[in-house]
Amino acid sequence: MSFEEQVDDIEANTILGGEPFFSRAGGKIFIIWLVFTAIGVLIGVYAPHHLLPTLLSPQGSDVWKTIVVFTVLAAPVAAFVYAVSFYSLFAWRHKGNQDEPPPDAMPQRGNGPMTVVWLAISSLLVVVLLFWGITVWNTQQVTHADTLQVNVTGQQWVWTYSYPGTGVETRTLELPLNRPVEFNITSVDVTHGFWPAVLGVQVDANPNVTTIIRTTPNKLGNFTVRCSQLCGLYHAFMNNKAAVVTPQQFSTWLQSQGATQAVADQSAGVSSSASSPTTTLPGVTTATPTTVPGETATTLTPDATAPTTTAPATTAPAATVPDGTTTTTGPADSTTTTAPA
């Protein structure tokens, strides 16, 4: 096949050829692109459900939505690259004598319509992704009056957490349910990466710099805090346990770490009465006090001691017998008799 014949063959198998669209190379690539795009969209919608852990905060849900949106929007672009590559492997590969290289194809100087369409689609995707990212970022900058402050310090190769105002410093992170949390993150040696993945936040811990991130745990559960920056020999082991617990459990945990009950209750956002429930002994019932006219009320106490009942005092009237003997008054259960003078 001469060079001119090869050029004619190439032109006949391009989008600009005279054959029906789906019989040309462009139509076949378009069909392959549709299939790959559908596969990419399905992966973007359903894969995060199976690949991501259970998320414990609204910020984690924002991360999940971002992954889905970005994957769906990127699927057509990636599918186009894959479709052209896949078609080229079979339709445009060199055939014939393998000992001689094929002649150069017809040079392509440019395609105005294709360039405009490509730039327009790319620009639109960038604007959409930028708007989405700024919106999600702004939602995480909202502050609340009841925010729980947690100071996070990274060092080779542990995380340390302190709760200002409580005197508690520990290597175990505990957070109360539905309470906004503000992490103040820094490092004492090298750059670390504070990454509680299920809370949907991640930020570097830099020496001599305090970085703030916010989240609100809305589900109970245990998780692991990891370091996302290569920080030395034992970087892979720089992780510790964390949990989202109920406010009452959080107050109890703070007290076990040395905080007073009043401070622990205030940090957990619970009242003292809620954290100190009344204990009832088995088999003992607290009776409702009743009052009978002329008698004192009887109350059964939790120690099951017998109640003391005081009977009303009565006074017997004085009586004079015929022989001159006088009976004096006294309590109803006792009398005093006076002999005649």
With cut-offs at 50, 70 and 90, classify the pLDDT of residue 210. very high
The per-residue pLDDT for range 233-286, each reduced to its tens digit, is 999 999 999 999 999 999 999 999 988 999 998 888 887 655 444 444 444 444
Comparing 3-12, 134-143, 296-305, which segment has the lowest mean pLDDT? Answer: 296-305
Tell me if the pTM is above 0.75: no
Angstrom CA distances, 65 to 2, 23, 42, stand at 55, 39, 14
In terms of CATH, what superfamily is 148-275?
Cupredoxins -  blue copper proteins (2.60.40.420)
Gyration radius from the chain CA atoms: 42
Region(s) of the chain under CATH 2.60.40.420: 148-275
Strand pairing category for 203-205 and 192-195: antiparallel
Cβ neighbours for 108, distance < 8 A, ≥ 6 positions apart: none
Give the residue, 324 or 162, on which the prediction is more confident: 162
The per-residue pLDDT for range 160-199, each reduced to its tens digit, is 999 998 999 999 999 999 999 999 999 999 999 999 989 9
